[in-house]
Amino acid sequence: MRSFRNFIGGRWADAEGVLPVDDPSTGEVFAKVPDSPAETVDEAVRAARAAFDDGPWARMSPGDRAGVLRRLATALESRFDVLVDELIADTGATARFCPMLQVGAPMAHLRDFADMAPLLERPESFPIQASPSLGQWELHREPVGVVGAFTPYNFPLFMCVWKIAPALLAGNTVVLKPSPLTPVGPDALAAAAIEAGLPPGVLNIVHGDRTAGEALVAHPGVDLISFTGSTAVGTRVMAAAAATAKEVILELGGKSPALVLPDADAELAVRGTLFSSLMHAGQACVATTRMLVPDERYDEFAELLQERASVLRLGPAADFATDVGPVISAAARMKVEKFVAAGIEHGARALVGGDQPSGVPEGGHYVSPTVLVDLDNNNPAAHEEIFGPVLSVIRYRGVEDGIRIANDTRYGLAAAVWGTNLVQAREVALRLRGGLTWINDVAQADVARTPLAGRGMSGVGSENGVEGLFAYTKTRSLYTALDTDLDVRAYGVVGGEWG
């Protein structure tokens, strides 16, 4: 039984309370994490506050901080194979999927963020337009202070990097509260921080559940909250943060459409949408889980979806032959099953799946890959975020109707458009409600250049890209007078008796 510990002020620390961690493929408990109380959160925030106010980190150059991020990547890279095995057991990500997205991508992203350091190196400067000789303005970007970061269970190391890398590069210190379901990635990050020479208190990790989370959001020593998770929890975080006027960055849920245009390549659209909606057992916020198909091609697409989805293999994550692994927990499995049952009760038909899986290890958290057809956008399976391996296929009549249905959602995180006429596909893509839109592809991202900014109930603010980096900064406007002639000042004509 592995016991994880908190990481506070550069040291490992125990905490009262224990939460079990199981392997989603078997249901067997293999580790335990602390269920930290509010007092532990306070200790971590005080360590981060001291490191920010009195330590060297905020006063280092962005280039020097970038060097530490690169050393973090190198330290993680030295444990690549071990991390792959551990994260397969921790997250249920399949052996084919895990090395690239759960381990390789975070290391690459650390280096990508480090390469953004020049954006913070020099202040922008500009003279007074009316009379440049009088003075000049400078715009400085400074760190916010202490960042409270919340990361979800689906991509634990990946999402930790998305939070801490821009926050640290900007000169902030961080208290990270990861999901208690997947502690391996954050723990590896703490070990790498020691190896990389990150000053004590710059990165602190507190494990726990609701008590720890509420304490972190409410703590007056935290300046900004960065949260990725469900919309239901995110709105509560935003409300709680308002009590102390904290800034918030929220990356929340989605019910993203894959809009198939009449001229789309069927094979490309079907395979891409199945990958997007079923990868990592559907546990991805940007998954395109609503496939909108023109009426005249609906039967063709249904036949191809059935053919392609039926051969996907459900099984243990460690088996390299597995296409779709388990969901994260028994509670998640039951939630997905309820959504599928509700969808069928409201008129949908299970083209593939929708039943209890067979031939999988007993005790694992398995949900059959499911494709639902013959439903409209009002069906619960079509408008609620399921976060499981479920694709809803919706019929539309005319492109305008397809755009209407695609935008008929409280979410606005991502979208995909499939069509061979790229002029039309681009026109349609720009009309869809979403901060991240693909044409004839899915799951592409460039953290250094492409921000992710959700619309509606999908989030507040931006992550990644220049906007995502600057979200972890505050601006200072600095004015320097270049001419000391009192006669040209507005206050030079006040109080004539002074002369």
Mean pLDDT in residue range 238-248: 96
- Predicted confidence at residue 483, as pLDDT, reads 82
Looking at per-residue confidence, does 247 or 489 come out higher?
247
User: For the chain, which residues make up each domain, given as ranges?
Assistant: 2-251+464-478, 256-439
418 pLDDT higher than 90: yes
H-helix segments, 78-132: 80-91, 105-114, 118-121
Percent of the chain whose predicted confidence (pLDDT) is above 70: 97
Q: Over the stretch 11-66, which tens digit does the pLDDT of each residue have?
A: 999 877 899 999 999 999 999 999 999 999 999 999 999 999 999 999 999 999 99
Of 165, 184, 146, nearest to 71 by C-alpha is 165
- Whether 2-251+464-478 shares its CATH topology with 256-439 is answered no
**How many other β-carbons are positioned within 10 Å of the β-carbon of residue 181?**
23
Q: Class assignment of domain 256-439?
A: alpha beta
- Distances in Å between the alpha carbon of 353 and those of 17, 90, 314, 356, 405? 39, 25, 11, 8, 25
- Predicted confidence at residue 495, as pLDDT, reads 59
Q: Which residues are catalytic?
A: 251, 285
* pLDDT-derived band at 488, boundaries 50, 70, 90: confident
In sequence order, what E strands does 230-353 have? 247-251, 256-260, 288-294, 349-352
Q: pTM for the whole thing?
A: 0.95
Q: Just give the CATH number of 2-251+464-478.
A: 3.40.605.10
- Predicted confidence at residue 64, as pLDDT, reads 98
Q: Over the stretch 284-343, which tens digit does the pLDDT of each residue have?
A: 999 999 999 999 999 999 999 999 999 999 999 999 999 999 999 999 999 999 999 999
113, 447 contact by CB (below 8 A) = yes
278, 382 contact by CB (below 8 A) = no
- In angstroms, the CA 266 to CA 297 distance is 9
97-101, 149-153, 245-249, 490-494: least confident range: 490-494
- In angstroms, the CA 199 to CA 112 distance is 21
Q: Over the stretch 192-232, which tens digit does the pLDDT of each residue have?
A: 999 999 999 999 999 999 999 999 999 999 999 999 999 99
493 pLDDT higher than 90: no
